[in-house]
Chains A and B, each alone.
Chain A
Amino acid sequence: MLNVESVYKSFGGILALNGLTFSVESNSITGLIGPNGSGKSTLFNVISGFYGKDSGEIYVRGEKIEGIEPYRIAMLGVGRTFQISEVPEKMTVLENLLLAPKRQIGEGILNVFLHPLKIRRENEQSLKSAYEILELVQLYDLRNEYAGNLSGGQKKLLSLGRILMSDPILLLLDEPTAGVNPTLVKDLIIAIKNLRAEKGQTILLVEHNMKVISEICDRVIVLNFGKKIAEGTPEEIQKNEEVLEAYLSGSSKRELLHEDSRGQ
């Protein structure tokens, strides 16, 4: 489904991705972990085309992704969320969801005047799925609220719901549960698993919470300094010496260092 082959990406002097290579199986849920600043979000930005890479290759479903605009990559079925939620303040929760479906007839200027009925039907269809998703992420009661008025955790939930509306094949979720209350996180885990079963989606997930990782992921990939240092099942990873090492030596030093120089 996704193949990343010796990808390099640097920002000035910082090597954010240092010859990273890994692949993700179809219909799997893969966790991506690593200390702060290890290059997880950069990887997402490179795969989804928001950042160019210095070298290396990326294939999605066998198709090479090279120098194309982010929206085209999204159209290929790559759906991503952002670590810092992107939420248009002056659009309601429901509008945010209705925005997401791809190839809407009503996005064409002429269609607005030529096919009003088709557009209405399309909208009603989208509304139905939107209500289901709103129930799932527990934002139904806030559906007509401006998204700008949501809390940080609610914005994360909205972003998750919105990307689900766009029906991606490969989902890149950057800390989707940060700031979300633990009981809801459990429901979300079940929902994400169901989705995978139903629609056959492939999910790559950045997550700091090891409990979530072990409950949800088939495999885990560990990054450190832009390199893969380990890969395996959640159990294997939790026992891995090198991983523990990276987290232990890293946590105090690196977190301090990156407190004020962190990207998104």
Chain B
Amino acid sequence: MGLVNFLVYLAIMMGIYAILSLSLNLQYGFTGLANFGQVAFFCLGAYASTIVVLVFKMPFILGLLGGMVVAGLFGYVISIPTANLKEDYWAIATLAAAEIVRIFFLNEDWVVGGGPYQGGSFGIGGIPQPLRSLFSAYTYPFFYLAIVLVCLLATYLIISALTRSPFGRVIKSIRAGDNLPQALGKDVKGFRMRVMAIGGSFGGLAGCLWAHYHGFISPNQFLPLETFIIWAMVIVGGKANNRGAILGAVIIMVFYNSTRFLKDYLPIEEVTLASLRMVAIGLLIVVAMLFMKEGLIKEKKTLYYSE
């Protein structure tokens, strides 16, 4: 892989993960929802979009929307039975929900049309890439990068508008506990459900982008480990700061991908390196939590000035 190719690939991954990290930041950073099943949105978006585009032969844009709707609905629906759980139990419930989603796609190959498309543990290949025929093999990744950046920009603008609004004020108050917002007449459960729906749909968007970029998805790409990586991005970048979430995604992705070059310089086997990579990201989280509690970019104070 040439250097330029690699950099474009890296930028695309950064963009996709930045969307995931913005989504988790809305849930955890702003609303205090410790979602340990973030990867479920990613997975659902990827599968839903693949089904829409590959099996039902619909255009890419409908796949994108389909993925967002399915993942958003999932976020909304899982908030219903879990509405009364305490924070730690809620986190465990989301972790379990994400595993259920993954195992569902592992076992139920019919959902992807069965036969011709395989599915199940074999995964699904041949996922169409949007407007692929208009570009050469060399220029296409640049085009795809543009799609990803447009999606990232839209995600950033939408989530920032929300977190700056009166809606954002309410979810920030929920982060500190239910009592106050309840006493002020805010429907706390309703707000949490809406946050999960929005977080879910953007997580789903990232999944669509992932599926159509790689052209192949399988359940083992959506292990709980992915959630862990997204958490690292939010914690290192700075929780409750949308730019921080993006910066975190950039840093963790650089870190994650640079370790693959180490094998050229160090006498370590690739398998060992893969697990060392996780250890390194874990260390990064610990260091961030010990020495920069608020991450690289701190939460911004919302200021108002009189007239």
Which A positions have Cβ atoms within 8 angstroms of B? 48, 50, 69-72, 74-75, 79-82, 86-92, 94-95, 98-100, 102, 104-109, 112-113, 119, 122-123, 127, 131, 143-144, 146, 162-163, 166
Contacts and interface: CB of A to CB of B under 8 A. Distances in A.
B183 interface: yes
B246 to A, nearest CB: 20
A137 B179 CA distance: 22
Contact of B185 (A75, A86, A119): A75
B183 A109 contact: no
A143 B182 CA distance: 23
B294 to A, nearest CB: 10
A156 to B, nearest CB: 14
B177 interface: yes
Given A75-B185, A106-B166, A88 B304 contact: no
Contact of A71 (B188, B240, B299, B304): B188
Contacts of B175: 88, 90
Nearest to B198: A109
Interface string B143-178: 000000000000000100110011101101101110
Contact of A91 (B158, B165, B169, B183): B169
Q: Dominant SS at the B interface? A: helix
Contacts of A86: 176-177, 179-180, 183
A127 B307 CA distance: 10
Contacts of A91: 169, 172-173, 176, 302
Nearest to B179: A86
Contacts of A70: 182-183
B301 A71 contact: no
Interface-central residue, B172, B176, B177, by most chain A CB under 10 Å: B176
A106 B165 contact: yes
B194 interface: yes
A74 B182 contact: yes
A108 B198 CA distance: 13
A144 B303 CA distance: 6
A100 B177 CA distance: 15
A48 B183 contact: yes
A242 to B, nearest CB: 33
Given A70-B183, A90-B176, A109-B162, A99 B301 contact: no
A88 B169 CA distance: 11
Interface of B: 158, 161-162, 165-167, 169-170, 172-173, 175-177, 179-188, 194, 198, 240, 299, 301-304, 306
Given A91-B173, A95-B172, 9 more contacts: A71-B182, A71-B183, A71-B184, A92-B303, A108-B167, A109-B162, A109-B198, A127-B306, A162-B184
A82 B183 contact: yes
Nearest to B240: A90
Contacts of B185: 71-72, 74-75, 102, 166
Contacts of A92: 301-303
Contacts of B169: 91, 95, 98-99
Given A107-B166, A119-B165, A88 B176 contact: yes
Contacts of B303: 92, 144
A104 B166 contact: yes
Contacts of B301: 92, 144, 146
Given A91-B172, A99-B173, A112-B161, A71 B166 contact: no
B166 A166 contact: no
B304 A94 contact: yes
Given A108-B167, A109-B167, A90 B179 contact: no
A144 B300 CA distance: 12
A221 B237 CA distance: 54
A71 B167 contact: no
Nearest to B178: A70
Contact of A50 (B173, B179, B186): B179
A249 to B, nearest CB: 34
B190 to A, nearest CB: 9
B306 A131 contact: yes
A199 B299 CA distance: 38
Contacts of A127: 304, 306
B6 to A, nearest CB: 38
Contacts of A143: 304
A113 B161 contact: yes
A89 B166 CA distance: 17
Interface-central residue, A80, A81, A88, A127, by most chain B CB under 10 Å: A88
B161 A90 contact: no
Given A80-B183, A90-B299, A91-B172, A112 B306 contact: no
Given A99-B184, A127-B306, A112 B179 contact: no
A94 B306 CA distance: 11
Interface-central residue, B166, B170, B176, B240, by most chain A CB under 10 Å: B166
Contacts of A94: 304
A16 B273 CA distance: 62
A50 B161 CA distance: 32
B77 to A, nearest CB: 17
Given A106-B166, A112-B167, A144-B301, A100 B184 contact: yes
